[in-house]
Structure 1
Amino acid sequence: MRLRLRLFEFEDLPWFPPIIRSGMMDYLRFMISNLGTYRPIAPLLAEGLRRTGQRQLLELGAGSGGGTETVWQALNEAGVKQLRITLTDLYPQPEAWQDIAEHTHGAIGHEEAPVNALAVPRNLRGFRVIFSAFHHFPPDAARAMLRDAVRAGTGIGVFEGAGKHWWEVLLAWTVLPVAQLLLTPFFRPFRLSRLLFTYVLPLIPLCTIWDGTVSLLRLYTPAELQALAREADPEQRFIWQAGKKRHWWGPEVTYLIGWPRSQ
Structure 2
Amino acid sequence: MAPLVPRMHLFEIDDQTWFPSFLRARVQAALTTVWTTRVPYLQPQSPAQLVARLISSQLGSSVRDYVFIDFCAGGGGPTPSIEKHLNQTISSSSPCSSSSSSLTNGTSSGSNASYAAVAAASPPLRPVRFVLTDLHPHLPDWKKAASLSPNLSYIPTSVDAAHAPADLVGRYKSQGQKVFRLYNLAFHHFDDPLARAILKNTLDTSDGFGIFELQDRSFLDGFVTLCLYGIGIFLAAPFYAFKWRSPATLIFTYLLPILPFVLVFDGWISALRTRTPDEVEALLRTCGAEGGEEEIKRWEVRSGKVPIMWPIGSLSWIICVRRGEDDDEQRSRGN
Q: Same fold (TM over 0.5)?
A: yes
Aligned residue in 2 for 1:157: 210
Residues 189 and 48 of structure 1: is their aligned pair in 2 closer, same or farther, counting only changes over 3 Å? farther
Aligned residue in 2 for 1:54: 65
- Work out whether residues 97 and 110 of structure 1, in 8 Å CA contact, stay in contact via their aligned partners in 2: yes
Deviates more, 1:208-217 or 1:1-10: 1-10
Match of 2:10 among 7, 10, 19: 7
- Work out whether residues 242 and 256 of structure 1, in 8 Å CA contact, stay in contact via their aligned partners in 2: yes
Match of 2:72, as an amino acid? G
Aligned residue in 2 for 1:121: 165
The aligned runs of 1:160-175 (5 Å cut-off) are: 160-168=213-221, 169-173=223-227, 175=228
1:189: Cα distance to partner? Answer: 4.6
Rounded to whole Å, the distance in 1 between the matches of 2:244 and 2:168 is 27
Whether 2:146 is the aligned partner of 1:101: answer yes
Residues 248 and 211 of structure 1: is their aligned pair in 2 closer, same or farther, counting only changes over 3 Å? closer
Aligned residue in 2 for 1:223: 278
Whether 2:80 is the aligned partner of 1:27: answer no
Rounded to whole Å, the distance in 1 between the matches of 2:186 and 2:246 is 24
Q: What is the TM-score of this pair, normalised by structure 1?
A: 0.86
Aligned residue in 2 for 1:42: 52
Residues 165 and 57 of structure 1: is their aligned pair in 2 closer, same or farther, counting only changes over 3 Å? same
Aligned residue in 1 for 2:192: 139
1:55: Cα distance to partner? Answer: 4.1
What RMSD in Å do the two structures reach over aligned CA positions?
2.6
Percent identity, aligned pairs only? 27
Rounded to whole Å, the distance in 1 between the matches of 2:60 and 2:156 is 25
Rounded to whole Å, the distance in 2 between the matches of 1:236 and 1:2 is 32
1:49: Cα distance to partner? Answer: 8.1
Match of 2:303 among 243, 254, 260: 243
Secondary structure, counterpart of 1:79 in structure 2: helix
Rounded to whole Å, the distance in 1 between the matches of 2:267 and 2:190 is 15
1:166: Cα distance to partner? Answer: 0.7
1:85: Cα distance to partner? Answer: 1.4
1:101-159 superposed Cα distances (whole Å, 9 cap, x missing partner)? 34x33432322333222212223233211100100111111111111011113321111
Rounded to whole Å, the distance in 2 between the matches of 1:39 and 1:231 is 33
Rounded to whole Å, the distance in 1 between the matches of 2:284 and 2:300 is 7
- Work out whether residues 129 and 158 of structure 1, in 8 Å CA contact, stay in contact via their aligned partners in 2: yes
Secondary structure, counterpart of 1:113 in structure 2: coil
Aligned residue in 2 for 1:65: 76
- Work out whether residues 51 and 259 of structure 1, in 8 Å CA contact, stay in contact via their aligned partners in 2: no
Deviates more, 1:89-98 or 1:17-26: 89-98
Deviates more, 1:234-243 or 1:26-35: 234-243
Which structure 1 segments of 5+ residues have no match? none
Aligned residue in 2 for 1:260: 322
Residues 218 and 189 of structure 1: is their aligned pair in 2 closer, same or farther, counting only changes over 3 Å? same
Which structure 2 segments of 5+ residues have no match? 39-45, 92-125, 170-178, 326-335
1:229-256 superposed Cα distances (whole Å, 9 cap, x missing partner)? 2223433434131321313655332222
Deviates more, 1:17-26 or 1:177-186: 177-186
Rounded to whole Å, the distance in 2 between the matches of 1:200 and 1:108 is 39
Rounded to whole Å, the distance in 1 between the matches of 2:88 and 2:150 is 18
Larger RCO: 1 or 2 (CA < 8 Å, sep 6+): 1
Whether 2:76 is the aligned partner of 1:76: answer no
- Work out whether residues 162 and 194 of structure 2, in 8 Å CA contact, stay in contact via their aligned partners in 1: yes
1:9: Cα distance to partner? Answer: 0.6
Residues 209 and 162 of structure 1: is their aligned pair in 2 closer, same or farther, counting only changes over 3 Å? closer
Match of 2:224, as an amino acid? L
- Work out whether residues 88 and 110 of structure 1, in 8 Å CA contact, stay in contact via their aligned partners in 2: yes
Secondary structure, counterpart of 1:156 in structure 2: strand
Match of 2:293, as an amino acid? E
Rounded to whole Å, the distance in 2 between the matches of 1:155 and 1:71 is 17
Residues 172 and 222 of structure 1: is their aligned pair in 2 closer, same or farther, counting only changes over 3 Å? same
Residues 183 and 236 of structure 1: is their aligned pair in 2 closer, same or farther, counting only changes over 3 Å? farther
Match of 2:315, as an amino acid? V
Match of 2:84, as an amino acid? Q
Residues matched between the structures, number:
261
Rounded to whole Å, the distance in 1 between the matches of 2:13 and 2:294 is 36
Rounded to whole Å, the distance in 2 between the matches of 1:186 and 1:67 is 20
